[in-house]
Amino acid sequence: MTSPTPVDWRMLTDQEVVRHAVIGREAAYRELISRYQRPVYSLIFRMVRNRELAEDLAQDTFVKVLNAIESYRPEYKFSSWIFKIANNAAIDHLRRRSLDTLSLDGSPHAENSEAIEATTLQVSDSAESPLDEVANRELGTSIETAIASLRPEYRSCILLRHVEGRSYEEIAEILDLPLGTVKTYIHRARNELRILLADTRD
């Protein structure tokens, strides 16, 4: 049996790497992860602002994409596909979190002191790792705080446009929004950011 011919993965387009992945070449899977782990993880991290959670959601994104690689339609950009799934994962989490708002003082349904204690959110117990500390410090800069205060839809748009450098058309494809809406969101987001940063400077 002949072994597969060696491939210079760096020379291949995303579509070509996907073709290798579809026939089950493990190296192609690794190449796709290596190309997109940084942008996908960074996008999700900025959306959810929690390192471990972002890593879990990024992992789910890649597992979903790679397990469904045969359904990828090459007429679309691979980056659009993976960013769409990553963004949906982040937005879904944010929606779930807004539904599961926890009280710091314990569940309102707790009927005695033990139940109140059991359902109280233990904020002070969560020990921060050095990595968390660095990440939190970086997220604490004025521009990151301003981005975090944007509506999730605006945040996705502004991050995809100006951090990931995606075109308006690709963002419309990723977010399933009309092109005009994407432009409006990005300009409103930039207006809000300018105002927030001006307030910070003042």
Partner 1 sequence: MKPHAEVHLSVDELDDFHAGRAAVRATSHIETCADCRALVADDIRLVAALENLRTWDPGIEFTTRVMEQVAPRTAPLAAPTAVAHSDRERSARRRVLVGGTLVGGLVTGAFAWASINPELALGLAEPAWRDLTGSLWITVQAISANTMEQPWFSAVSDAVATPARALPLMGAAAALYTAALFGLRRLLTRPAIDASW
Asked if 6 touches partner 1 (CB under 8 A), the answer is: no
Residues near partner 1 (CB under 8 A), total: 50
58: contact with partner 1 by CB under 8 A: yes
Which residues neighbour 90 within 8 Å (Cβ) at sequence distance 6 or greater? 43, 44, 47, 48, 57, 152, 156
Tokens coding 152: 């999730």
Of 74 and 103, which CB lies nearer to partner 1 in the complex structure?
74
For the bound state, the minimum distance from the C-beta of residue 163 to partner 1, rounded and expressed in Å, comes to: 5
Closest distance to partner 1 from the beta carbon of 125 (Å): 23
Q: Is 86 helix (H, G, I), strand (E, B) or coil?
A: helix
The amino acid present at 43, given as its one-letter code, is L
151 binds partner 1 (CB under 8 A): no
User: Which tokens sit at 29?
Assistant: 């899977």
Residue 91: CB minimum distance to partner 1, A: 15
Rule CB under 8 A: is residue 35 a binding residue for partner 1?
A: no
Stretch that binds partner 1, among 20-28, 97-105, 107-115, 116-124 (CB under 8 A): 20-28
Tokens of 57: 């959601």
Query: Where are the alpha helices (H) located in 100-141, listed in sequence order?
Result: 113-119, 130-139
Residue showing tokens 């990005």: 186
DSSP state, residue 9:
G
Which listed range, 6-14, 102-110, 116-124, 156-164, lies at the site for partner 1 (CB under 8 A)?
156-164
What part of residues 162-201 is at the interface with partner 1 (CB under 8 A)?
Answer: 162-163, 165, 183-184, 187, 190, 193-194, 197-198
Contact residue for partner 1 among 14, 17, 18, 41 (CB under 8 A): 41
Say which amino acid occupies 51.
R
Amino acid at 102: L
Distance CA 49, CA 60 (A): 17
Contact 25, 49 (CB under 8 A): no
Residues at the site binding partner 1, with contacts judged by CB under 8 A: 1, 23-26, 29-30, 33-34, 37-39, 41-42, 45, 54-55, 58-59, 62-69, 71-73, 76, 81, 84-85, 135, 138, 143-144, 158, 162-163, 165, 183-184, 187, 190, 193-194, 197-198
